[in-house]
Structure 1
Amino acid sequence: MRSIFIGLLFLLLTSCYQQERNCAYFKTGKFTSETEIEGKKYTSTFERNDSIQIEIYEGKIDTFKVRWTNDCEYVIQNIHPKNRAEKKPVQMKILTTNSKSYTFEYSFVGDTKKQRGTATKLN
């Protein structure tokens, strides 16, 4: 009986805990992001305003149109795609935030395979 009570108390306390999500703070600014795909770490820097994101990755500069679907989710699409893969829009979702960074999940629109990464605000 005592273990059931402790289990229920633990469940009650953990179910009330919510991760911080101050997504509005991260809508604009300069960032660096890190993601790991198949054991390899990828890093890029980008600057975003409400509707445009300019990203630098391995010396290449790409410009994306940004469309916010809610406070913590947005879709980016390459403005000048060079191939078919770059034409696909990418769904981004901010999962958690803290004072300087956020954890995000992303996938091509319509794709069920999702990846995760972290972005840190530089300014």
Structure 2
Amino acid sequence: MRWIPFLLITLLFSCTPLKRDCKAFKTGTFSFETLQDGQLITTTFTRNDTLEVAMVNGRPDSSDVRWINDCEYIVSKRNPKNRAEKQAVHMKVLYTEANSYTFEYSLVGKPRKEKGSVSKLKD
């Protein structure tokens, strides 16, 4: 019975809502890390309201950005090189921190979702 107050206090403090200040991440320069074929790949990209330019293997790769609301947007490659690149990606910011955000993404129309995180390098 002594553990009940401890459990209640733990539950009270662990249920704080997650912050979602998505407007702060609409524009700027960002960094994203992912594992590809067992290698850690870092991609840096710059986004304004409607355009995202990433450096992929030392070459720029441009995508159009269409905002659905402050925390969700669709990314479409400007010059897709193959059928897979033609597929748009739905991005949804789940929560934000001081200089980063965690997001969920999926191909438009597909149920499978993945998660990732992005760090903001500069405005």
Instruction: Give the alignment of 1:9-48 within 5 angstroms.
Output: 9=8, 13=12, 16-36=15-35, 40-48=39-47
3-state SS, counterpart of residue 25 of structure 1? helix
Instruction: Give the alignment of 1:42-81 within 5 angstroms.
Output: 42-81=41-80
Q: Distance in 2 between matches of 1:19 and 1:38?
A: 32
Q: Aligned Cα RMSD in Å?
A: 2.3
- Stretches of structure 1 that go unaligned for 5 or more consecutive residues are none
Contact 1:74 1:93 in 2 (8 A): yes
3-state SS, counterpart of residue 85 of structure 1? helix
Contact 1:75 1:91 in 2 (8 A): yes
Q: Distance in 2 between matches of 1:70 and 1:11?
A: 34
Q: Distance in 1 between matches of 2:121 and 2:66?
A: 22
Residue 107 of structure 1 corresponds to: 106
Residue 91 of structure 2 corresponds to: 92
Q: Distance in 2 between matches of 1:60 and 1:114?
A: 27
3-state SS, counterpart of residue 113 of structure 1? coil
Residue 118 (structure 2) pairs with residue 116 (structure 1): no
Aligned length: 122
3-state SS, counterpart of residue 122 of structure 1? strand
Q: Distance in 1 between matches of 2:22 and 2:74?
A: 14
Which residue type is aligned with residue 67 of structure 1? R
Q: Could you tell me the TM-score, scaled by structure 2's length? A: 0.84
Q: Could you tell me the TM-score, scaled by structure 1's length? A: 0.84
